[in-house]
Amino acid sequence: MNIADYLKGNLRQYGILGALVLIFIFFVVMSGGKLLNPNNISSLVQQVAYVAVLSIGMVTVIVAGHIDLSVGSVVAFIGAVVGQLMYTYHVGWPVAVLAALIVGLLVGAWQGIWVAIARIPAFIVTLSSMLLFRGLAVVTLGAKTLSGFPEEFSAISKGGLPKFVGTIDISSSALPTFFRGEADVFTLLIGAIAIVGLVYSSFRTRAAERKHGLTPIPLSLTVGKLVLLGVVIAFFTYLVSLSRVGTPIVLIIVAVLIVVYTFVQNRTVYGRHVYAIGGNLNAAILSGVNTRRVNFAIFLNMGVLTGICAVIVTARLGAATPTAGNGYELDAIAACFIGGAAVTGGVGKVSGAMIGALIMGLLTMGLSILGVNESWQMVVKGLVLLAAVILDLFSKRRSVLAEVGQR
Partner 1 sequence: MPSDGKTILEMRGISMEFPGVKALDDVTMTVSRGEIHAICGENGAGKSTLMKILSGVHPYGSFTGEVDFEGQPCQFRSIRDSERRGIAIIHQELALNQFLSIAENIFVGNEQATHGVIDWRKTEQRATEVMRRVGLPDSPNVKIADIGVGKQQLVEIAKALSKDVRLLILDEPTAALNDEDSAHLLGLMRQLRDEHDVSCIMITHKLNEILAVADTVTVIRDGKTVAYGDIAKEGITEEFLIRHMVGRPLENRYPEHTPNKPGAEVMRLEDWTVHHPIDTERKVADSVSLSVHAGEIVGLAGLMGAGRTELVMSMFGHTYGVGISGKVFINGKEVTTRTVSQAVHQHIAYCSEDRKRFGLNTIQSVKENITAAGLSNLARFGVIETLAETGIAETFREDLNIKTPSVNVPASKLSGGNQQKVVLAKWIYTSPAILILDEPTRGIDVGAKYEIYTIINRMADEGKAVLVISSELVELLGICDRIYTLSGGRITGNVPRSEATQESLMTLMTQEKEKVHR
Euclidean distance between CA atoms 214 and 229, whole angstroms: 24
Comparison of 1 and 379: residue with beta carbon closer to partner 1: 1
Cα-Cα end-to-end distance for the chain: 19
**Closest CB 6 distance from partner 1, rounded Å:** 12
**Closest CB 276 distance from partner 1, rounded Å:** 6
**Closest CB 157 distance from partner 1, rounded Å:** 32
Kindly report the number of other CB atoms within 10 A of residue 168's CB atom: 13
Q: Are 58 and 353 in contact (CB under 8 A)?
A: yes
**Closest CB 282 distance from partner 1, rounded Å:** 5
Cβ partners under 8 Å of residue 92, min gap 6 = none
**Closest CB 208 distance from partner 1, rounded Å:** 6
Side chain identity at residue 338, one-letter code: I
Euclidean distance between CA atoms 250 and 219, whole angstroms: 34
- In degrees and rounded to multiples of 5, residue 394 shows phi and psi of -70, -45
Comparison of 287 and 323: residue with beta carbon closer to partner 1: 287
Comparison of 147 and 287: residue with beta carbon closer to partner 1: 287
Q: What is the dihedral of CA 230, 223, 340, 407, to 10 degrees?
A: 170
**Closest CB 3 distance from partner 1, rounded Å:** 16
Comparison of 146 and 289: residue with beta carbon closer to partner 1: 289
Side chain identity at residue 159, one-letter code: G
Comparison of 110 and 261: residue with beta carbon closer to partner 1: 261
Comparison of 163 and 272: residue with beta carbon closer to partner 1: 272
The residues facing 170 across adjacent strands are: 181
Q: Cα 380 to the chain's mean position, in Å?
A: 20
Q: Are 41 and 243 in contact (CB under 8 A)?
A: yes
**Closest CB 398 distance from partner 1, rounded Å:** 14
The residues facing 151 across adjacent strands are: none
Euclidean distance between CA atoms 336 and 339, whole angstroms: 5
**Closest CB 288 distance from partner 1, rounded Å:** 4
Comparison of 282 and 373: residue with beta carbon closer to partner 1: 282
Q: Are 5 and 344 in contact (CB under 8 A)?
A: no
Binding site for partner 1 (CB under 8 A): 1, 208-209, 211-215, 266-270, 272-273, 275-276, 279-280, 282-290, 346-347, 403, 407
The residues facing 167 across adjacent strands are: 184
* Helices assigned H by DSSP within 287-349: 291-317, 328-338
Residue 336 exposure: Cα atoms within 13 Å on the Cβ side: 30
**Closest CB 311 distance from partner 1, rounded Å:** 27
Euclidean distance between CA atoms 399 and 35, whole angstroms: 37
Comparison of 266 and 323: residue with beta carbon closer to partner 1: 266
**Closest CB 5 distance from partner 1, rounded Å:** 10
Comparison of 128 and 205: residue with beta carbon closer to partner 1: 205
Euclidean distance between CA atoms 258 and 252, whole angstroms: 10
Comparison of 173 and 282: residue with beta carbon closer to partner 1: 282
Residue 170 parent element (H or E)? strand 167-170
